Chains A and B, each alone.
Chain A
Amino acid sequence: MLDIFSQIDFQHWLLRPFSERWWQETLCSMLVGVTCGVLGCYVVLRRMALIGDALSHAVLPGVVIAFLITNNTGIVGLLSGALLAGLLTAVLINLISRASRTKEDSSIGIVFTSLFAIGIILVSALPRGLHFDLKCFLFGDPLAVGATDLLLMVIICPVVLALTTALYHPLKLASFDPVVAAAMGVPVMTLHYLLMGMLSATVVAGLKTTGVILVVALVITPASAAYLLTNRLSRMMILAGAFGGLSAVAGMTLSFVTNWPSGATMVVFATAIFGLVLLLSPSQGIVIKMFRRRKMQWIVECEDVLKTVYRNTHEGIEWCNLRLVTNVTRISLRRLHAIVAQLEKKHLLHLNSDNELQLTAAGRIRALEMVRSHRLWESYLTERAGMAVADVHEQAEQLEHVHELVDEVDRNLGHPRVDPHGETIPPGKKPTPS
């Protein structure tokens, strides 16, 4: 055993992520992650996810031609090639879908696949001696990330972030309501092409780390997660930036430790965040919704038990059998035991050894509140909602659990003393002077 452990170089393993190279790459990919996240908000909201994918593929011919002309993968060449190709894609998509009845998604598909195809042909037709690494373009190659690429990220990302922040209001208006935006003089088309340009530039910045196929995930996934969490665009942008940056740093670190490809690891992290949000988001989260419903159900059942015990005990009959309670409330015996245990802990009722229940003084007060609530709602339903006396019981059975509104109902009805069935309505805790 000891032998095995001594073979692993713990110190190296632990420190490796924090080497100088790790710092450089992590900082730069964090920048890319944040930028992709923020820009991604507009991509997601304007339903341009497909365009994001298209742009990332369509930059290939631009990059190859730039490579042909400059003979290397220098910054200026790459960037201008990608920008031109990106804008060309945007313009072509626009032309085809405007000028004909071709649907936008179809024209996106047509344009980017054809540009990508041209790119592939160009790669294969490169003159002898020049080698363009198509695999690196597609899948990324963190080992090939050089100083120039880092520089590229450091230039592009702040520019994109600054532009999206500075143009926040017109971008919001143009994305939300393009027709009125145009009528108000917002340069809608210019902003559209600006977004496209920024997207192409960001794609190029992230290219070496993630490759074209996965870079789209960094644009769409963090923004989609943020979208589930908020109703404000500004917050969405901040959250998406945070998620993007976080996935980049976490992915980079893990990939240094495990030697997994960094781009793929980042994407897995981004998706994990999205999954968590999907399950746990306060307003949309699947788990949270289920949890809330369960909790509500539990409260309702507890209250029903109290009420049933109250109704079935009088002077003389001090105890109420558990069987009777299950029959009336239709709660299973097992669940009923759990409920009774909790109510006992709250000192609202007692359970004796004969499986019989009795309310405590506090329990009686709670039960009376329920009765009051039920009868007030019955009065409200007949008098204000105009329902027939015979029909109100069932609805009141539901409404009685909404305690916050009871006093308001009481006030609204002018503090009635009896309900529509002629039963006395118990007074509230602090009887309000009428």
Chain B
Amino acid sequence: MASDAGSTIPLHARNLTVSFADRAALRSISFQLQSGTLTGIIGPNGAGKSTLLRALLGLLPLDAGNVKAFGLPVAKNRQRIAYVPQKQTVDWDFPVTVLDVVLMGRYGRSNSRLWRLLRRPGETDRLAAEQALAQLGMSDFKDRHIRQLSGGQQQRVFLARALCQEADILLLDEPLTGVDVATEEIIFSLIDKLTAAGKTLLLVSHDLSILDRLHQVMLLNRRIIAIGPPEQAATKNNLRQTYGGRLALLDQAEAALTKMK
């Protein structure tokens, strides 16, 4: 046990099983991620991609399995994980400005549980938040109310919040949906910077065109069909298994594959 605590494996899932009502949404998922890599989870709608992220974060009851972050149960290591959900469930009329939202990412920067609750963000936190906004090109909007932003801009604000958490693991659920090409480039250059700094990224996408940007791909449809470097894992056969009989998607996948070669 003690030897496990200092583990350098950022994220290690063993035998995760999750079910809703009586249907299994995820079956026996095991994998581990290395530092400084970008892993993409790819699969059709309803494959359980979002469910997997929530299970990794301990936001869902697990039927079986466990997740360790740097050798500790996730619940004990939350400060090191940042999460951007797919559907924002926030209240858009909440009285907060963009900067307020990003500053929320600075919560929990303490080892004492009590102090985490009582701590107020200070000057350093403010600077970090502004820097995160600047990195996503949102500095001009920092004093706006969040309602006054477009969908893509809102998405960038939530990315900025995750960024200023300065976490070692980032779980991003479809961060590229609904953003324009320029923003996509900003996000990818950010991702490159983060992986170069040794962070571990797990990114959900149903868009196969990002295959060539990934270090590792996980093809998911209730179970892991394949995981590995894209050119080995994303074979025609595996993609067909993942996407079932949906030909349109398969065409798209093949197009993406030919583009890679």
Contacts and interface: CB of A to CB of B under 8 A. Distances in A.
A319 B100 CA distance: 60
Contacts of B120: 168-169
A183 B53 CA distance: 10
Interface string A44-62: 0101000000000000000
Contacts of A173: 104, 107
Contacts of B85: 179-180
Interface string A229-261: 011110110000000000000000000000000
Contacts of A187: 117
A185 B59 contact: no
Interface residues of A, number: 29
Contact of A231 (B95, B107, B108): B95
Contact of B81 (A183, A186, A235): A183
Contact of A177 (B89, B97, B119): B89
A420 interface: no
Contacts, number: 81
Nearest to B87: A179
A236 B118 CA distance: 20
A308 B233 CA distance: 74
A176 B96 contact: yes
Contact of A176 (B81, B101, B119): B101
Nearest to A227: B95
A166 interface: yes
Nearest to B75: A185
A170 B78 contact: no
B128 to A, nearest CB: 15
B55 to A, nearest CB: 12
B108 A176 contact: no
A175 interface: yes
Contacts of A416: none
Given A184-B107, A185-B116, A176 B94 contact: yes
Interface string B88-118: 1111001111001100100110000000111
Interface residues of B, number: 31
A175 B57 contact: no
A172 B116 contact: no
Interface in A151-209: 166-170, 172-173, 175-187
A184 B165 contact: yes
Given A175-B94, A231-B95, A232-B96, A183 B57 contact: yes
B134 to A, nearest CB: 21
B104 A176 contact: yes
Interface string B152-166: 000000000100010
A81 to B, nearest CB: 28
B207 to A, nearest CB: 23
Contacts of B116: 170, 185
A170 B101 contact: no
B95 A230 contact: yes
B119 A169 contact: yes
B145 interface: yes
Given A45-B91, A231-B145, A232-B100, A183 B83 contact: yes
B89 A178 contact: yes
A169 B94 contact: no
Contacts of A180: 83-85, 104, 161
B121 interface: yes
Contacts of A179: 59, 85, 89
Contacts of A45: 91, 94-95
B145 A185 contact: no
Nearest to B88: A177
Contacts of B88: 177
Nearest to B147: A231
B79 interface: yes
Contacts of A233: 94-96, 100
Interface string A35-73: 000000000010100000000000000000000000000
A231 B91 contact: no
Contact of B108 (A47, A172, A177, A184): A184
B96 A185 contact: no
A186 B57 contact: no
B166 to A, nearest CB: 12
Contacts of B91: 45, 47, 175-176
A176 B119 CA distance: 18
A227 B101 CA distance: 18
30 contacts: A45-B95, A167-B117, A167-B118, A170-B116, A170-B117, A172-B96, A172-B100, A173-B104, A176-B90, A176-B91, A176-B94, A179-B59, A179-B85, A179-B89, A180-B83, A180-B85, A181-B107, A183-B59, A183-B83, A184-B78, A184-B107, A184-B108, A185-B75, A185-B78, A185-B108, A186-B107, A187-B117, A232-B96, A232-B100, A233-B95
Given A176-B104, A235-B95, 19 more contacts: A166-B118, A168-B120, A170-B117, A173-B104, A175-B91, A177-B104, A179-B59, A179-B89, A180-B84, A184-B108, A184-B165, A185-B78, A185-B79, A185-B116, A186-B108, A231-B97, A232-B95, A232-B96, A232-B97
- Those 8 A-B pairs whose CB atoms lie nearest each other, nearest first: A185-B78, A183-B83, A177-B90, A231-B145, A183-B57, A176-B94, A173-B104, A233-B95
Interface of B: 57, 59, 75, 78-79, 81, 83-85, 88-91, 94-97, 100-101, 104, 107-108, 116-121, 145, 161, 165
